[in-house]
Amino acid sequence: MPDSLAPNVTDVVELTRTLVRCESVTPHEAGALQLLERTLAPLGFRCERMDFSQAGTDDVANLYARIGTPRHEGGGRHFCFAGHSDVVPVGDLSSWTIGPFSAELSDGYLFGRGAADMKGAIAAFVDAAARFLARRGRDFGGSISLLITGDEEGPAVNGTVKMLKKLAERGETIDACVVGEPTSSRRFGDMMKIGRRGSMTVDLTVRGIQGHVAYPERLDNPIHRLSALIEALVREPVDKGSTHFQPTSLQFTTVDVGNRATNIAPGVVRARFNTRFNDLWTSQTLLAHLKERIERAHAALGGHGTIEYAVEVSGESFYTPPGPLSDLVAGAVRDVAGVEPELSTTGGTSDARFIRSYCPVLEFGLVGETMHKVDEKSAIEDLRMLARVYETVLDRYFAA
């Protein structure tokens, strides 16, 4: 944690800079959650570390901070801001023109890993809450919380999903949630996410018979079989999309043989593909459909050899219909930034896929053009507008 940490600083730009200086590459906390605890506690938030472990995964530190009385103890409505303090690796350090953890300001931008995804949004919510509480006081008729994980950019098994389960087990409910992912596309406020496609990764293992390439009658080359299976999967679209979602995509990400010999056909080949699927499917129905395509192509080749599947589903598709929450956030964006946000379901997955089982949820945050890239950055003015949007949302959600 930086020595310069000032626990009472809630200004969105300075807090973002201090957070960026915490080198919290998944799964390392690196002082980011300690910083938030020391910033939120003086505002009246009760800060609770929720750290989880699971065999085969890294230990992960998480933070749940809340102000207000829970509903099951007689409190009012509960608004939650969810996000992640972990960031992706910086990659080739020599490619950065500004140090990835220096949090420098230049030409109207704040540079650094996490500036867009999504330490800027976390700082904006703290700034918004501080200003809201300064005007309204701590007795505003409800609860505000921050649910911050250190595991969103990783396997996402020791973070949000377990935090939500723990809250539910003790009777703590959330009424509405905004996730601070960088949803804006080209300019601040032009897009929010009201749903996401599901994500499923499938590992295929195709087995044949290894042999000398000069004697093809003695071998069964699984690479040739795999090529036909790939063609069967990508030749035609999975679907044409749905009312709220773009078409399901399927992309092969690797084909591995591990064969350096020039005169041997391998006995095994492995491949992996990922599909981002819309609400026409569940992971189970989509997997059944894809297996049918594969098996049909396999049978057309004579059905020799074997095919094995290993499947990992990181999230189902979900959709939050336009309603009070999207109207609330869109209205705040419109009044603060003068922009009408598009309600979108594009992009990758986020922890909103877990939250949607507990309450209405949407995602709204900074411009995401540089997230995960070299020289990640956010416009200083965008950071300040985001804090004002979140403050406006709180004002209207807890309107007197």
**Pairing between β-strand 191-193 and β-strand 342-344 as defined by DSSP bridges:** parallel
Phi and psi angles of residue 312, each rounded to the nearest 5 degrees, phi first: -130, 125
- Choosing from 29, 117, 127, 152, which is the catalytic residue? 152
| Residue that the structure tokens 């009408």 belong to | 340
Contacts of 146 (CB under 8 A, 6+ apart): 36, 40, 45, 63, 64, 65, 66, 80, 81, 82, 83, 122, 125, 126, 129
In 3D, which of 73, 130, 136 has the Cα closest to residue 400?
A: 136
Integer angstrom CA distances of residue 123 from 100, 115, 301? 18, 10, 57
Is position 86 annotated as part of the catalytic site? yes
Q: How far apart are CA 54 and CA 126, in angstroms?
A: 30
252: β partners:
273
47: β partners:
65
Sign of CA dihedral 71, 36, 49, 154: positive
Positions annotated as catalytic residues are 86, 152
